[in-house]
Amino acid sequence: MADSLSTRGRSLDVGAVGIEREGLPPFDAGPIDLRRWFATDRVALPLEIEIGSGKGTFLVQQAALTPQVNYIGIEYARAFWRYAADRCRRHGLDNVRLVHTEADLFLRNYVSDACLRCVHIYFPDPWPKKRHHKRRLIQTPFLHTLARVLEPAGDVRIATDHTGYFEWMLEHVAAVDDLFEQFPFDTPRAAGEGELVGTNFERKYRREGRPFSAMVLRKRGQ
């Protein structure tokens, strides 16, 4: 991921926000009750996941503005996971946990059916070369996993700067038309004036004048 990480000499402390990959149970132990990652008075609150949190900019902004929602960020690059967890800890966000793991593995093995209100996917790595397309996050089995873990009428919210990847997403979504209904993207509270979402990559790409594409996929059914 081409983004710089400067801590200006500060040492990072993931505190209670950061969940280590090594601390997760074995894959075959069944789903985790993710609500238990939060304080007792927060277990009944809606749960949302962000995949690929990067420096944690979306989570820091969105979680502060929506304290009645619990958020789990998933980030597989250790340096970014540590940076984002430290940042959320310093902001005193008790509604955020950041887990150092791969998103597809995490959702498939640890997340129970219909427990998430929303999954946020902002500026996922586009893997532009054809031979790397198999590394893209959005794949048909992954869309089935998203539909399984979302509550009825739960949302997947996606934004990207990469037109080719967006077309790929639309093709894959069309192939599982029974799972999701597509809606226009509405700006989250995290977004600043004139922003779509308000992430680091959005800000960087906006300066470069790149066009953005975004959509909401709402899980069908009761």
Please identify which of the residues 13, 41, 113, 125 carries the catalytic annotation: 125
Q: With binding defined as CB under 6 A, does residue 48 bind ligand SAM? A: no
Q: Which is nearer to ligand SAM, 34 or 40 (CB)?
A: 34
In terms of Cβ atoms closer than 10 Å to its own Cβ (0-12, 13-18, 19+), residue 176 is: middle
Binding to ligand SAM (CB under 6 A) within 105-144 occurs at: 122-125, 137
All residues at 6 or more sequence positions from 106 whose CB lies less than 8 Å from its CB, including other chains? 74, 99
Six token digits for residue 47: 């749960």
Q: With binding defined as CB under 6 A, does residue 1 bind ligand SAM? A: yes
**Which span sits near ligand SAM by CB under 6 A: 32-40, 109-117, 150-158, 200-208?**
200-208
Complete DSSP assignment for 107-119 = HHHHPPTT-EEEE
Residue type for position 98:
L
Q: Which residues pair with 166 in a beta bridge?
A: none
Q: Tell me which of 76, 127, 142, 185 binds ligand SAM, using CB under 6 A.
A: 76
Q: Which is nearer to ligand SAM, 78 or 220 (CB)?
A: 78
Q: How far apart are CA 78 and CA 161, in angstroms?
A: 24
Q: Tell me which of 37, 38, 71, 80 binds ligand SAM, using CB under 6 A.
A: 80
Q: With binding defined as CB under 6 A, does residue 145 bind ligand SAM? A: no
The helix (H) or strand (E) run that includes residue 148 is helix 140-149
Task: Kindly state the smallest distance separating residue 201's Cβ from ligand SAM, in Å.
Answer: 3
Q: Quick check: is 125 catalytic?
A: yes
Enzyme catalytic residues: 125
